[in-house]
Amino acid sequence: MARTKIVLAGEGGQGVQSIAKILVEAGYEANKEVLYIPNFGVEQRGGVSIAFCQIADERIGEPRYSKGDIVIMLSDRAIDRCETYVDKNSTVVYDTSVCTKKPTCECKEIIGIDANKIANEQLSARVFNIIILGVLLEATHVLELSDIKNAMELALGKKFDAKPELRELNYKALEMGMSLVAQKAGV
Amino acid sequence: MVNKLIKEDIKMFLTGNEVLAYAANSAEAEFMYGYPITPQNEIMHTWCKLLPKTEAGFLQTEDEISAGFSTIGGILAGKRAFTATAGPGNVIMQDAQSMAEMMRIPFVCAVMQRGGPSTATVIYAQQETRLTCYGGNGEGFRIVYSTAGHQDLYDYMIKAFNTAWKYKFPTYVLADGYQGKMREPVMLYDPASRGITMVPTEKALLADGEIGVDRKSIHMRNTYNMEEELMEVLDSYQVDYDKMAEEVAEWEEYKADDAEILVIAHGIVARSARTAIDELREKGIKAGLYRPITIRPLAVKPLREAVSRAKHILFTESANGQLAQMVLEKIYGLTTPYSTLFKMGVGVTGDDIVQKVENIVKEGV
């Protein structure tokens, strides 16, 4: 049975849960079986925020899993908390422009991306998480770009209609994220 | 009467808290009393968001003590009222829950367990199992459904109202923060379309007719003068409870018929056990699941039969054996050996169970 297990972790406020919601909504709309658990502490800002997402072809059993196929770490604390979700079959993605260290866990592949830097310098700090969504899309290959765009319309459509340039900005961020992984995979 | 929103089958992609609000509406609930505590807040958020359409009622009280007693007040006033809580909120609501036991109030409460003791985590646990079944100063005259996902939440929330109003014992949907916060697809339906008739809401204190002419006065007590007077009442409750238990006790087995290793788990952990059992069966290990759905009362006969058939039992919980304690009492006398996999306040994954069972097999069943 094809099942993709994703662990998405960062600091509270980085938008981890927002993109997890878009991701699973896209999966649901694409008629996949999906399950998403948000995991965070009592803080409104800060603290490690983790999203456990599953996208599958058949009904999903366990809501929580031990190891992720893709584990995304967007801060030093996220690296500390989430190495436990990594094994030899996991692909680990971390942000070199946020983290001051590199994950040291044994895994299939470690991909370093500088999404935060790119967001700040080339796009907007507000679409940092959308770049990560693009990274996820390219790294998992379980959903189509059009699925994600549809789900973004559901989540952000009203904002897009009010300011159409936001739609373009978000699309650019998505594509940027996808290309970051594609480049690394080609190396 | 409130307006019911779900008139035909509709598949939705919701959080469990949202599911519970819709389910309460489908069960014709008229009023919710509550106080915010994570991870159950979105039950009342959703309930309130739907109010313009449902024309139901809501009151946010000053704390859970008040939420519990207000729920009782609403029911006494003739409304189909309910509440929801979690963690420390569940602790301080026990006074009202005991009163509901004593006065046989059809009190419905959704409990979304979080880590404990005390504030602990806002995320998840199965550590309110004992509290929800036996909390308060009393004997646990309660019915507790332990759910394992969103379809269960919808089905059993509807059922909880019928059980409570039929038998007049406090009735709980016991879930957890994972189920409250997680999103997965669920089929919502009108209970009538599944042949479910809702037990009507009776007026308790404000019944129709003139007292002494049309009907007797209604005297609901939670205070007694004499010891024997109290015991007489509680003995009669016990008789009612035992009779009711045979009718409401529910359980589920998965590949348990020929299971050599029987996993006993409830709620969302039972769902992880299913994943583990499929994997173990592929590896040639005969594992199966026994999942009590009503953890109070337990279905004793099928439980004892399943345990008798197995060579080894594995109890697993996101608590330190709260269900296991209750089960062990009911399987007294049976000699099937058992192991435990308890993770206090932490989710149990399929992998956890697979590894544990493989170790049991290695050591020789």
Question: What residues 79-138 of chain B have any CB closer than 8 A to a CB of chain A?
Answer: 119, 121-123
What is the pTM for the complete model shown? 0.94
Residue A187's pLDDT is 47
- Enumerate chain A positions whose Cβ falls within 8 A of a Cβ in B: 21, 24-25, 28, 33-42, 60-67
Rounded to whole angstroms, the Cα distance separating A177 from A187 reads 16
Residue B227's pLDDT is 96
Average pLDDT of the residues of chain B: 97
Give chain B positions within 8 Å (CB) of A35.
Answer: 182-184
- Read off the pLDDT band of B106 (50, 70, 90): very high
Residue B171's pLDDT is 98
Rounded to whole angstroms, the Cα distance separating B26 from A48 reads 37
In terms of CA atoms, which chain A residue is nearest residue B354?
Answer: A66
Residue A1 has pLDDT above 90, yes or no: no
Residue A185 has pLDDT above 80, yes or no: no
Q: Which residues fall within 8 angstroms of residue A73, CB to CB, at 6 or more apart?
A: A9, A10, A79, A82, A92, A93, A94, A95, A99, A103
Q: Mind telling me how many Å the CA of B74 is from chain A's nearest CA? A: 32
Rounded to whole angstroms, the Cα distance separating A18 from A16 reads 5
DSSP calls for B38-89: TTSHHHHHHHHHTHHHH--EEEE-SSHHHHHHHHHHHHHTT--EEEEE-HHH
Q: For residue B28, what is the DSSP state?
A: T
Residue B365 has pLDDT above 50, yes or no: yes
List, for residues B253-273, the tens digit of each pLDDT value. 999 999 999 999 999 999 999
**B10-194 has which CATH code?**
3.40.50.970
Q: Who among A35, A60, A62 is closest to B349 (CB)? A: A62
- Read off the pLDDT band of A39 (50, 70, 90): confident
Residue B100's pLDDT is 98
Topology of the domain comprising B251-362: Rossmann fold (3.40.50)
* CATH code for the domain in which residue A77 is found: 3.40.920.10
A65 to B274: CB separation less than 8 angstroms, yes or no: no
B183 to A24: CB separation less than 8 angstroms, yes or no: yes
- Domain tally for chain A? 1
B185/A contact by beta carbon, under 8 A: yes
Give chain B positions within 8 Å (CB) of A36.
Answer: 182-184
Domain ranges of chain B: 10-194, 251-362
The backbone torsions φ and ψ at residue A92, rounded to the nearest 5 degrees and listed phi first, read -105, 130
Residue B110 has pLDDT above 90, yes or no: yes
Chain B contact probe: residue of A6, A39, A53 with most B CBs at under 10 A: A39
Residue listed under structure tokens 């594995």: B314
ipTM of the complex: 0.86
- Read off the pLDDT band of B13 (50, 70, 90): very high
The backbone torsions φ and ψ at residue B241, rounded to the nearest 5 degrees and listed phi first, read -65, -45
Residue A44's pLDDT is 64
Range of the domain at A110: 3-186
Nearest Cα to Cα of residue B297 among B224, B243, B361:
B243
Question: What residues 323-362 of chain B have any CB closer than 8 A to a CB of chain A?
Answer: 347-352
Q: Mind telling me how many Å the CA of B2 is from chain A's nearest CA? A: 30
Q: What is the mean pLDDT of residues A43-71?
A: 91
Neighbours of A57 (CB within 10 A): 13
Domains B10-194 and B251-362 equal at CATH topology level: yes
User: Comparing A107-111, B58-62, B212-216, which segment has the lowest mean pLDDT?
Assistant: B212-216
Judging by DSSP bridges, how do beta strands B287-292 and B251-254 pair with one another?
Answer: antiparallel
